Amino acid sequence: MSSKPLSPSRTREILAELEHRPNKHLGQNFLIDGNIVGKSCRMADIQSGDTVIEIGPGLGTLTQALLKAGAEVFAIEADTVLENYLERILLLKYRDKLHLMRADAVDNPLAGFKLNAEAGQEKDFKIVSNLPYAISSPWLKRVLEGALPSSMTLMLQQETADRYAAEPGTKNFGAITVFLHSAYVVEQRHKVSRQCFYPIPSVDSVLLKLVRRENPFLFSEKSVVKIRSFFTQRRKQIGALCRKEPELAPWLDYLEKSGISKKSRPENIPLTAWKKLNEFSS
């Protein structure tokens, strides 16, 4: 495999050699722009010795860039043909630096990487990925339930990135935004043309960098379920949504004392207030 990112023609050639047609269900749109590969590594601030998780490495163009930068990479690929190809072209060359798993990333959100907590020491890690669009939200939900990476640099569909970066009071602000912003800050975003992928998807993408907060906040499982249910009824007022939840009466009182009307809809509730709900639904 060339040390350069794969060109559009070379990508097509490899897929033809493998007799592999990109799987739309798996979100297989391969990155073919070397500038964006480089941008991903720079945005993620990859340093030699970093531990990096990659979801859906595909043909390995980003994987190789991460490895060449000196990172130890844990990559997970659901497609058998592509995983076999990566074993053949990268695993021997980077035997000590590449850990390749064939599995579903929603079931294995950190690609088999496990923190070593011996003597209370834990090594930080990053996630850098051209994330398969079909699994972006269920995968992120799993990440937020466990060990948190120091940063995530993710290639996302425009609509998904808008949800992840949304502010309260906007139509894109939802449950996933609440959970994500409680643990991470959106540090950078870079729009990426659909022409940078093969096959060309129907929408543009966004490269988004999320940096872990100094004191990340994680919601209880019960709070997660409740907040998700509120946002599935986002046209209703928060007072009406809590009417059958007597344990949330103190939370409604807190909202009113904070100047937040019971007539507010879920997307208009600020992050601090959602965190407060955790105290009454845990």
Note whether 149 and 233 are same-domain residues: no
Note whether 165 and 251 are same-domain residues: no
Indicate the pLDDT class of residue 127, thresholds 50, 70 and 90.
very high
Indicate the pLDDT class of residue 119, thresholds 50, 70 and 90.
very low
Residue 81 has pLDDT above 80, yes or no: yes
Task: Please name every residue paired with 76 in a beta bridge, in sequence order, or none if there are none.
Answer: 55, 101
- Domain membership of residue 169 (yes or no) is yes
Note whether 45 and 181 are same-domain residues: yes
Q: What is the 3-state secondary structure (H, E, C) of the chain?
A: CCCCCCCHHHHHHHHHHCCCCCCCCCCCCEECCHHHHHHHHHHCCCCCCCEEEEECCCCCHHHHHHHHCCCEEEEEECCHHHHHHHHHHHHCCCCCCEEEEECCCCCCCCCCCCCCCHHHCCCCCEEEEECCHHHHHHHHHHHCCCCCCCEEEEEEEHHHHHHHCCCCCCCCCCHHHHHHHHHEEEEEEEEECHHHEECCCCCCEEEEEEEECCCCCCCCHHHHHHHHHHHCCCCCCHHHHCCCCHHHHHHHHHHHHCCCCCCCCHHHCCHHHHHHHHHHHC
Note whether 88 and 201 are same-domain residues: yes
Indicate the pLDDT class of residue 121, thresholds 50, 70 and 90.
very low
Indicate the pLDDT class of residue 120, thresholds 50, 70 and 90.
very low
Note whether 238 and 160 are same-domain residues: no
Note whether 73 and 148 are same-domain residues: yes
- Record the pTM: 0.93
Indicate the pLDDT class of residue 282, thresholds 50, 70 and 90.
low
- Domain membership of residue 1 (yes or no) is no
CATH number of the domain that residue 248 is part of:
1.10.8
Note whether 162 and 44 are same-domain residues: yes
CATH number of the domain that residue 172 is part of:
3.40.50.150
- Domain membership of residue 90 (yes or no) is yes
Note whether 228 and 155 are same-domain residues: no
Note whether 135 and 232 are same-domain residues: no
Quote the tokens at residue 110: 């950190």
- Domain membership of residue 74 (yes or no) is yes
Task: Please name every residue paired with 191 in a beta bridge, in sequence order, or none if there are none.
Answer: 206
Indicate the pLDDT class of residue 242, thresholds 50, 70 and 90.
very high
- What is the domain range of residue 237? 221-281
State how many domains the chain has. 2
Note whether 32 and 91 are same-domain residues: yes
Note whether 159 and 186 are same-domain residues: yes
Those residues with Cβ within 8 angstroms of residue 198's Cβ, 6 or more apart along the chain or in another chain? 8, 11, 12, 22, 29, 30, 32
Tally the C-alpha atoms within 13 A of residue 26's C-alpha that lie toward its C-beta: 20
Give the pLDDT score at 4.
65
Quote the tokens at residue 272: 């601090």
Give the pLDDT score at 27.
81
Which of 154, 181, 212 is the C-terminal boundary of a domain?
212
Which of 172, 195, 212 is the C-terminal boundary of a domain?
212
- Domain membership of residue 2 (yes or no) is no
